[in-house]
Amino acid sequence: MKNVAWDLYQVFLLVARHGGLTGSAQAAGTSPATVGRRILELEDALGRQLFVRRQTGYSLTADGQALLAQVQAMESASRAVDAWRDEGAGATIVRLMAGTWVTWLLCENFPAIRTERDTFRVDLSVSERRATLAHRESDIGVRAVLPDEPHLMRRLAGDVAYAAYRRRNTADGETGGWLAVGEEDAISPYLRWPHDNAGGRIAVVASRPRSLLDLARAGAGQAVLPCFVGDLDPALERSGGEIKALRYQQWIVTNTEDRHRRDIRTVSDRLFRLLKSHSDLFAGRRPQRSG
């Protein structure tokens, strides 16, 4: 049997995870035709068919499933060696993915996540989409749904509540319309809420959720925001009670294979402590304001 280069196995992993050539090629920075040729090369070297080719995509054969388990173990070992090497050089990177408002809280309290004594770098990825760790885009994710993937470790960080907010001391009759992101960008329940419940009364549409806070502060209308954002802002007040349909549980997730990486474990532990320290605010239990 021919010796198989590790890069062929990496192409195999991409196709197994993406279920086809197009997504795999995009991830690899090459063409679908090249990915297809590499898979044929691997199958020829192993003497086994690894995928069933259909118009809808590639699915693993029994041999492909067996190989996937072995190659995932190889990948895990390779990543562990890389992490060990990088730790010695003080050059590790921890990739953390969270939504707009958790990222906002992280930025407000970043010394709680990384100190000047830490040698690792933190890469923040901001997205309203669910943090995906299976393809290694991130090392740590903050999710709004209970993870069901078997390869993920998870920790419950508490509930998150939402309410509508307007500029403080605005008269009830002067609240104005609703503030929203465009419908194509409204991929989270709280972003969809104005479209589903106040479509005819939307006054301003912004392209990014972060603009909702600034618009509400300016008195442009009322916005649905997480309570830990709105209740902390002295320029805002609630324009109604909690929107209970939007409440959810918040989870911190990491790959099981990374549980021994000291830098990932450190950032994950610090993130958990930060979110738990704000648990009352996250759950909509407002702080007492003086005056």
Same domain, 151 and 270: yes
Number of domains present in the structure of the chain: 3
Entry pTM: 0.68
Q: What is the mean pLDDT of residues 23-44?
A: 90
Same domain, 83 and 11: yes
Contact 230, 165 (CB under 8 A): yes
Residues in the chain: 291
Q: Where is 53: in which H helix or E strand?
A: strand 51-54
**Domain CATH for 190:** 3.40.190.10
* Residue 291 pLDDT > 50: no
Q: Give the CA radius of gyration of the chain.
A: 23
Same domain, 130 and 236: no
Same domain, 82 and 219: no
Q: Give me the chain's average pLDDT, please.
A: 88
* Residue 42 pLDDT > 90: yes
**Domain CATH for 40:** 1.10.10.10
* Residue 22 pLDDT > 50: yes
Buried b (16+ CB within 10 A) or exposed e, 218-242: ebbbbbbbbbbbbbeeeebbbbeee
What are the pLDDT digits (tens) for 160-210? Answer: 999 999 999 887 767 779 999 999 889 899 999 999 998 789 999 999 999
Which residue range forms the structural domain that includes residue 82? 6-87
* Residue 29 pLDDT > 90: no
